[in-house]
Amino acid sequence: RHDMSATESIPTRELAERAKAITQRELQVYIGRTKGSQAATERAREVLPMGVPSSFQAYDPHPIVVRRAQDGWMEDVDGHRYVDFDMGYGALFSGHCHPAVRRAVETQMDNGTLFVTPCEMNAEVAELLRDRYNLPMWRFTNSGTEATMDAIRVARGVTGREKIVKVEGGYHGHHDEVMISMKPPISEAGPADSPRAIPSTAGITRAVLQDTGVIPYNNLEPLDRALSGRDVACFIVEPIMENIGICKPLPGYLEGVREITRKYGTMLIFDEVKTGITAGWGGATGVVGVQPDLVALAKSIGGGLPLGAFGGTSECMDQITAGKVLHLGTYNGNPLCMAAAKAVLTEICTPAATDEAIARNRMLLDACDGIIAAAGLPAHTVQFGAKGCVTWAPEPIQNYRDYKATDFDLAFAQWMHGINRGILLPPGLDEQWLISVVPTDHDALRYADVFGEFVAELTA
Ligand code: PMP
């Protein structure tokens, strides 16, 4: 489909200059076509800091303000349609308002939205997660943040230890102990193999900072060093990092992580908020075949409703059974979210539908690979399950430092160019697309068409 003969390679600096010129032009186009979003944002800024409900949603000059979404598309207040590749930061593997989610939620509405006493679906959904993740006991939360927060507390309870260790560049939600070294400035971050822990926000106490150790991904020696004092409760990690594009483990890395955490009696928490059910039917845990002590889930399990969960070994979860670790929440396991999750886990994201979405994603990645190869660009694609990304670097990245060395001028120009042509990617340049179980091949490939137009202009 694409001419594979590499065109004469254009120096990277020249590409970055061209990218900046594209960004400048597209920014003007964006301002011209999103007057409604601009007005809505200006109004919102009067009453909401940055005019948004979560600071991740803010970008310059103003974000797209959306009025409706269905299946694989969204429509903004100016009436423009976008093929949605962001899909709620990966929360919408079922697509927007899947008919089965709608049916389940509407049926539940007839029977009530909140009981604060159990419903039968609590056990049903927990059984479905147990079967996928091979962990026996579960509890529900309302977000990924709560899921990682509670999993960490359980790990502290079961070990009687206070310290935790996380990966530099890793995101695990917005509670204090993990809002450390999320995206630290390299100039302050210290040596690559023993990074400094840097708070990512004001409001983190020194005590919390002292209790959180930070290590690089894909490097076992610093992990061994960090855990060797036998005073670390847990190592929390995304098995495949999905907040710096997609960063995969080197062969043997996760097996090594399991061995080292076990050696020192440290609980291993897999944060599968993003990889859960999108990586494959059994999440990243199923794909990599390494069993953690605790798993944190959220996003796609809720089918668009706010639902998180964490599961663990009997040893871990007995902490809650015994009343040593308290796990609470008014909205935990509410019947509306349970009904949605049950539809997602049984009717929608079946093994076959999951595999089909992953195959459709492969097709899109192949199309992008062809474009990159034909143009001889310093870029490559990465796939993990139904997610994918273009990373603007010649070689795969292995950690946060590699990610910081990728070309953000090119990435931003591509994002800006796409949005003006109806392709909505996540705004942070650090996320990835999700191919849901819903869109047709045509919609998925639309990304490659627009990407091809961008590359043609860049290399003309
Ligand atoms: N963990 C990971 C890996 C995430 O990507 C996110 C959110 N992007 C969270 C935790 C937090 O989830 P939530 O936004 O639902 O609190």
With a cut of 80, say whether residue 66 has pLDDT above it: yes
For the segment 373-420, what is each residue's pLDDT rounded down to a tens digit?
A: 999 999 999 999 999 999 999 999 999 999 999 999 999 999 999 999
**383 residue type, one letter:** Q
Residue 206, pLDDT > 70, answer yes
Question: Which residues touch 185 (CB under 8 Å, ≥6 apart)?
Answer: 198
pLDDT, one tens digit per residue, over 238-259 is 999 999 999 999 999 999 999 9
Q: 84, 86, 211, 271: which is the annotated catalytic residue?
A: 271
- Distant-in-sequence contacts of 3-11, Cβ < 8 A, 24+ apart: 3/374, 4/370, 4/373, 4/374, 5/374, 6/373, 6/374, 6/375, 6/376, 7/374, 7/375, 7/376, 7/459, 8/376, 9/376, 10/459
What confidence category does residue 2 fall into, taking pLDDT thresholds of 50, 70 and 90? very low
CB 88 within 8 A of CB 72: no
Cα separation of 362 and 261, whole Å? 34
Burial string for 116-137 (b: 16+ CB within 10 Å, else e) reads eeebebbeebbebbeebbebeb
Q: Which of 30, 171, 217, 403 is catalytic?
A: 171
217 is catalytic: no
Residue 161 confidence (pLDDT) above 90: yes
Q: For atom 9 of ligand 1, which residue has the closest CA?
A: 173
- Partner residues linked to 75 by β-bridges: 68, 81
273 lines ligand 1 (CB under 6 A): yes
Q: How far is the CA of 242 from the centre of ligand 1 (A)?
A: 10
In three-state form (DSSP H/G/I as H, E/B as E, the rest C), the secondary structure along 157-215 is: HHHCCCEEEEECCCCCCCCHHHCECCCCCHHHCCCCCCCCCCECCCCCCHHHHHHEEEE
342 ligand 1 Cβ < 6 A: no
Q: For 261-288, what is each residue's pLDDT tens digit?
A: 999 999 999 999 999 999 999 999 999 9
- Centre of ligand 1 to C-alpha 402, Å, is 22
Ligand 1 geometric centre to CA of 27 (Å): 29
Active-site residue, 271 included: yes
For residue range 291-322, what is the model confidence (pLDDT) as tens digits? 999 999 999 999 999 999 999 999 999 999 99
Q: Is the pLDDT of residue 1 over 50?
A: no
pLDDT at 6: 44
Give the count of alpha carbons within 13 A of 151, CB side only.
39
Active site residue 171: yes
Top mutation candidate among 217, 274, 301 for ligand 1, by most atoms within 8 Å of CB? 274
- Based on its alpha-carbon atoms, the radius of gyration of the chain, rounded to whole angstroms, reads 22
Cβ(284)–Cβ(274) below 8 Å = no
User: Model pTM?
Assistant: 0.97
pLDDT at 155: 99
> Binning pLDDT at 50, 70 and 90, where does residue 222 land?
very high
Confidence of residue 4 (pLDDT cuts 50, 70, 90): very low
Q: Which of 166, 274, 299, 387 is catalytic?
A: 299
Is the distance from the beta carbon of residue 274 to the nearest atom of ligand 1 less than 6 Å? Answer: yes
Q: Give the atom of ligand 1 at the shortest distance from the alpha carbon of 89.
A: 8
